[in-house]
Amino acid sequence: MSAVTRQAPQAAPPGPAGPGRRPRRVAAKIVWLVITALVVAAVWSVDIKWSELADFPANLWKYLTLMFGPPDLGKLPEAFSATILSVQMAWLGTVIGIIVSFPLSFLAARGVAPAAVRWPMRGLFALIRAVPEVVIAVLILSVTGLTAFTGALALAVGSIGTLGKWGYESFESIDSGPLEATASVGGSPVAQMRWGVWPQAQPEVFAFWLYRFEINVRASAILGLIGAGGIGKMLTDNVQYRIWDGVGMLLIVVIVVTMAIDQLSGMVRHRIIDGTWKLPLLGRRSPTPEAKDTMVVSDND
């Protein structure tokens, strides 16, 4: 047992031979404690009549049968055109939101713009997210009137808040390798963004765009209240008057349409990421777990 080989593999400091003490991780414990305390306090203090939950299942069943047993097929055309109008509003809102938020989110990303630009941008995104959709809609309404266009614009403004945030988060979470490569060939900041950052963030950003479109279809419901039309209007009309089979019909149409959109967008996303078309509801992961990407973006130090 020569001393040479004894230490050889361990050029490391001659620390204790044992496994050391199990670390306490105090900070993590405190965080958990605080969270638990918060939840307990909220449950304990909130004004809830738990007894109401007793007939929840029976009631739920009752309303489900009212809605779907059977849905009012006569409302199909109305439900369909309302959903289409909502989809149009959501699409337009998303497109405008993307056009505005995309450059702004670059300006909000670390490593792109100086802090003096970055923080105001992030503040703007947070501010937009803090303003309720209805308030945004009422502001826009005084400009464009009681139209579906107002609805689309309200969705566009709302989208800027979330898309902006998601945008700079994904720009910041890319692998630095290609960015380093574009820097090392002498590329300007714009060139580094275009070729070092964007190709990597692209799939994630596309995913967020599509997801926001999906959210906008649903959010358009609230805008129906202010006269923008679409599913929101039909929804409130039917819910207010307890026409549950009408609600059921609308729900079926909304679900079918959004699921179709979801499948299409999943397909597009798959195309961007893997280079092949595939429906997300089907399909298993490819059997090679050693993903090709690991070669490309193997970490550097």
Partner 1 sequence: MTQPDIRFDHVGVTYPNGFSGLRDITVDIPAGQMIGVVGLSGAGKSTFVRSINGLVPITDGDITVGDKSLRDLSGRRLRELRSGVGMVFQGFNLVGRATVLSNVLMGRLYHTSVWRTLLGAWKKDDVNLALDALARVEILPKAYARASDLSGGQQQRVGIARTLAQRPQIILADEPVASLDPPTSHVVMRDLQKINAELGITVITNLHFLDLARRYSDRLIGLRSGEIVFDGTPADADDAAFESIYGRSLTADDVLDAPGHAAGAHLGPAS
Partner 2 sequence: ASLTLTGCGARETSDASATGASSKVCTGSSDKSAKDPKKLTLALVPSGDAKKLVQTVKPLEKALTKRLGIPVHGVITQDYQAAVEAIGAGQAQIGMLPSLQMSQACDKYGAVPSLQTVRNGKTSYAAQFFTNKPKKYCDDTPKKGPNGLMYCNGTASGNGPAGLDSLTKMKGAKVSLLQAASPAGYIFPVAAMKKAGLDVKKDIDTVQVTANDASVLAVYKGDAEVGTSYWDAREVVKPDTPDVGKKVVVFALTKEVPNDGVSITSKLSPSWQQKISKAMLDYSTTKAGVKALTAIYQITGLKKADPKALKQTQDTAKSIGLG
Partner 3 sequence: MSTAAKSAPPAKPPTRWKTAAVLIVIAGITVWSAFGVHVDFAAIVDNWNNASATIASLLQPDYWFIPGTGQAVLETVQMAVIATAVSAAISLPVAFLASRSTNPNNSLLAAVRFIMNIVRSVPDLLYAAVLVSVVGTGAISGIFALILFDFGIIVKLVSEAIDGLDVGPQEAALSAGGSWFKADRVAMLPQVMPSFTSQVLYTFELNIRASTVIGLVGAGGLGMLIDRVRTFYRYHDLSLIILEILVIVVVIEFASSLLRKRLAR
Please report, as residue ranges, which positions from 254 to 293 form the binding site for ligand ATP (by CB under 6 A): 287-288
Q: Is residue 293 close enough to count as binding partner 1 by CB under 8 A?
A: yes
Please tell me whether residue 46 binds partner 3 under the rule CB under 8 A. yes
Helices of type H across 108-229: 115-130, 133-144, 148-172, 176-184, 189-191, 198-223
- Relative orientation angle of helices 198-223 and 231-240, to the nearest 10 degrees: 40
Q: Is 74 in the site for partner 3 (CB under 8 A)?
A: no
Helix (H) / strand (E) containing 268: helix 244-274
Sign of the C-alpha dihedral computed for residues 274, 278, 280 and 282 taken in this order: negative
Could you give the CA distance from residue 153 to residue 143 in angstroms, rounded to a whole number?
10
Distance CA 215, CA 220 (A): 9
190 binds, among partner 3, ligand ATP, partner 1, none (CB under 5 to 8 A by kind): partner 1
How much of the chain is helix, strand and coil, in % rounded to 5?
Answer: 75, 0, 25
Burial of 198 (0-12, 13-18, 19+ CB in 10 A): middle
- The CB-of-188 to partner 3 minimum distance in angstroms stands at 25
Residue 52 binds ligand ATP (CB under 6 A)? no
Is 301 a binding residue for ligand ATP by CB under 6 A? The answer is yes
Residue 301 binds partner 3, judged by CB under 8 A:
no
Question: Which of 29, 30, 33, 59 is the binder for partner 3 (CB under 8 A)?
Answer: 59
Judged by beta carbon distances under 5 to 8 A according to partner kind, the member of partner 1, partner 2, partner 3, none in contact with residue 114 is none
CB nearer partner 1, residue 194 or residue 242: 194
Interaction with partner 3 in 120-149: which residues (CB under 8 A)?
122-123, 126-127, 129-135, 138-140, 142-145, 147-149
* CB nearer to partner 2: pick between 34 and 146: 146
Given a contact cutoff of 8 angstroms between Cβ atoms, the answer to whether 212 and 162 are in contact is yes
9 binds, among partner 1, partner 2, ligand ATP, none (CB under 5 to 8 A by kind): partner 1
**Which residues are near ligand ATP by CB under 6 A?**
287-288, 301
